[in-house]
Amino acid sequence: MVVGEMPEGVDLLVVGGGPGGYVAAIAAAQLGRKVMLVDADGEDGLGGVCVRVGCIPSKALIELASHVHARQAWHGRGAPAPSAGDVDLVAFQNWKRDVVGGLNNGVRGLLKRAGVDVRTGWFRFTRPDQGALVTDPDRPPTHLKFASCIIATGSRPVQLPRLPFDGARIVSSTEVLELTDVPKSVAVVGGGYIGLELGTALAKLGSAVTIVEAQDRLLPTMDPNIGALVAKHVKTFGIEVLTSSSVTGDTGHALQIDRADGAVELAVELVVVAVGRIPNIDDLGLEVLGAAPGPDGRLPVGTDLLLTPRIAAIGDVTPGPALAHKASAEAHVAAAVLSGRAEVFDPTTIAAVVFSDPEVAQAGLTSSEAAAAGYDAVTATFPIAASGRARTLGDSTGFVEYVHNRDTGIVVGATIVGPHASELIAEAALAIEMAAHLEDIAGTIHAHPTMAELHHEVAHVALGHPIHVPGPRRPSSGAGAA
């Protein structure tokens, strides 16, 4: 420690104000800890990428696009003809800022009521014995000495060396969500969930969209049948899908793409690079702690989420899916562990959602994963087209699939593709977490007509006595039996 340096004492320090960081700060305060939260953007950064430039803004854009696209379809179902005119993205941006600002202010209020001290600045570890430095161009550096610390610094978009971001033509998801005009033509590099969501939204708003994916299908981390179904459906929005295609460069007006049948050029106005995210751990000074990222580039932590005895890490900087709800769930555990409580982060499932069209949601194990885990796995499927509620929505693409153990009937996995899959997956996730039996779901009376009935329907399919799709004849017994 430098002579004359007077560190400020901190009980529990949280680094990052996203859905992991601010939840950890509140949870720790509820446990009686005196908490300081440091974010590079201070109070303006509360809510993190999710609230400011990720989950919330992207879903707002997707909702706008869905409403715009639905106007023509509903005209044929009795609604007034859609009025002429371009989409007003300036008005959208004003509304989106109100939404984001409201959520940001909400988090500020929650932290204030919890007594959390929010500071602005860049954070770096300086000593292995709980020393840190916070720098801010507008004020002198602050030296800290903490008793406990939670790293929740999140992630940022991956930048491809051959397609460096310029903020104008070649952009990340962040810049797409700030557009004030609908581009005439767009190439989306990456057919994962972020690229698919943004590409579909832009196509519905009127852009000519091409999705370029290096793997042989969209959503390459999911079951191949899902990628095939989604790829077929997005063509109805005019989206062209180029799989097994690698981008080799950009001429300034056209992407250069290598395909199995030769090289091609794709002239587009906007290039959106959506090939993944990288954890924000580069400048934290982890070497001072003797800590380093694992082979996956993330910080290796166990079920206690501890990186060192006094420091925990949560969210996108740790192994597992980079999802806001994972970070928030880990936040509670990290705060408890650092406060002397014996808790672990060991969920049975973390639901994953793709807000594409159709929506895709998964929880638990797929059939192949269940088999690999040693289950005698059986699948049951119910088509969305057989749902009365889906028909009234004018959207009957997709299916619900349950994976269960043949011997016990316990549900171990679920996949939902179709309208409102993002909401429907919660019941399946709860069933998996509670080790529910198919009889529990089939025996629960679901309101009609709702999309939630799909859980009831697929459970009946799995039990061998489906109601609204053909099934095997069951042998008769009792009165009237031959």
CA pair distance 55, 30, nearest whole angstrom: 27
Tell which residue, 276, 275, 251, has the closest CA to residue 263: 251
Give tens-digit pLDDT for 335-383: 999 999 999 999 999 999 999 999 999 999 999 999 999 999 999 999 9
CA pair distance 67, 179, nearest whole angstrom: 18
Return residue ranges of the chain for CATH 3.50.50.60. Answer: 8-157+278-338, 170-275
Per-residue pLDDT at 76: 85
Tell which residue, 63, 68, 99, 52, has the closest CA to residue 355: 63
CB 356 within 8 A of CB 200: yes
Q: Is the whole model's pTM more than 0.95, yes or no?
A: no
CB 18 within 8 A of CB 152: yes
Per-residue pLDDT at 477: 52
CATH 3.50.50.60 fits 8-157+278-338, yes or no: yes
Give tens-digit pLDDT for 41-91: 999 999 999 999 999 999 999 999 999 999 888 888 898 888 767 899 999
Q: Which CATH number fits domain 352-463: 3.30.390.30, 2.60.40.10, 3.40.50.2300, 3.30.56.10?
A: 3.30.390.30
Q: Is 85 exposed, middle or buried (0-12, 13-18, 19+ CB in 10 A)?
A: exposed
Q: Output the CA torsion sign for 94, 100, 106, 111.
A: negative
User: What letter would DSSP give residue 386?
Assistant: G
Give tens-digit pLDDT for 87-131: 999 999 999 999 999 999 999 999 999 999 999 999 999 998 789
CA pair distance 132, 151, nearest whole angstrom: 12
CA pair distance 263, 418, nearest whole angstrom: 35
Q: Is 448 marked active-site?
A: yes
Per-residue pLDDT at 129: 78
Return residue ranges of the chain for CATH 3.30.390.30. Answer: 352-463
Beta pairing partners, 290:
none
Q: Output the CA torsion sign for 80, 357, 423, 108.
A: negative
Residue of 67, 253, 448, 465 with catalytic role: 448
In the predicted model, residues of the chain with pLDDT beneath 50 are 1-4, 479-482
User: 3-class SS at 148?
Assistant: strand
Fold adopted by 170-275: FAD/NAD(P)-binding domain (3.50.50)
